[in-house]
Amino acid sequence: MQLEYIGAFDVVLGVLARFWPVWISLVLVMGASFAYKKRLGLYGQLFDSSVGIVGVGICLFWLFTAIFASTVSPFNPLVQIPIMKDALPGAVEPQSGLVYLFGGDKLARDVFSRMVYGSQIVLIIAPAATGFALMVGITLGLPAGYYGGRIDTLLSFLANLVLAFPVILLFYLLVTPGIMETPIPYAMAGLFFLFPIIFFSVLFWTRYKKRPDRLYILMGLTLIVGGWVYAGLVFDADPFRIIHIDPNQLNIFVAVVFASSPGVFRIVRGLVMDIKTRDYVAAAQTRGESPWYIMLWEILPNARGPLIVDACLRIGYTTILLGTLGYFGLGLAPESPDWGTAIKDASRLLRSFIHPALPPTIALMSFVLGLNLLADSLREQSMKD
């Protein structure tokens, strides 16, 4: 059967039309952000520069793409339609009449739909893993920088030990099938996922220990929500099946947290060693505040600027890392629509068909570019503050 094709201009219009919920969301959010930017603090200040506007726009585009993936995608990313194998962009699927806007891959799957659904994987793993890495790095970096001495020596040695190991080899060891079948990833997950619970428990205790009415509520919410998320992620024991992560994704998640935490630790440690000499820290010590209160409520808020910038950059690094792991076939399942796996599958026939490799490559590049522009704008704003 001979496939029918639409023109290049119709392909462009079709792509723009498929993203209609994304455009609507972007207009609403960006419009509201412009209107109320003076009330939105640091986020509102991003709209004072063109770099910040572009960075926010790109990041929001992929965020809304991940949210509305089922609406944007015309096909299931795993469905194979044999006649569409290696179809060129603009090929019309005979039965449904829908178009393979970016063509088909070697397994006859829609390249456009796989690119769209790949954004979900990236925007779940990269920010979440970065968030947990920040929790681990902050929780360990604060006492190392504040107390110094043996605590600093021990924690710094462990961080440098991890940083001295080649990153790609480290990920290869953590994500290979032999390791994935052992309890090691789950034991590491059980350790790392405790840090957010510990962090927020100490945070609320130091702040509200003299106000038990509020303390009990916040501590209860922390333990209940934290325990629920912990049980779902580590033991897959969420009775509502809301908190769930596949074993392959869990291993990548743990590997990213393990490799990223030492870098966050060193940044936090350096910031704390600088900030603890400030007058407002000495004033808190004079008032008799506890060390953890000073670390969490006096030092950490004044270190938020560099940490926010580092978080944006680290999400970008993690996105590239996920693409690299997918390209080498590590971690995620072979049929996964993540961008790295899609690039790997397309690269094998790159000399014959280039169209399956371009969309995931451009998607990955554009998302990382948006994060870097966002980080640059945040850095400029933090320097002004």
Query: Which residue ranges form the domains of the chain, and what is each CATH number?
Result: 4-118+353-384 (no CATH), 119-320 (1.10.3720)
pLDDT beneath 70, residues of the chain: 1, 176-182, 331, 348-351, 383-385
Burial 136-166 (b: 16+ CB within 10 A, else e): bbbbbbbbbbbeeeeebeebbeebeebeeee
Model pTM? 0.89
Alpha-carbon distance 204 to 218, whole Å?
7
Residue 183 tokens, joined:
């309890």
Host H or E run for residue 192: helix 184-192
pLDDT of 3:
82
Yes or no: say if 126 and 107 are a contact pair by the CB < 8 Å rule. Answer: no
Alpha-carbon distance 7 to 132, whole Å?
46
pLDDT of 238:
76
pLDDT of 345:
81
Alpha-carbon distance 298 to 127, whole Å?
26
Alpha-carbon distance 226 to 230, whole Å?
6
Of the candidates 377, 327, 378, 334, the one whose C-alpha atom is nearest the C-alpha of residue 350 is 327
pLDDT of 173:
73
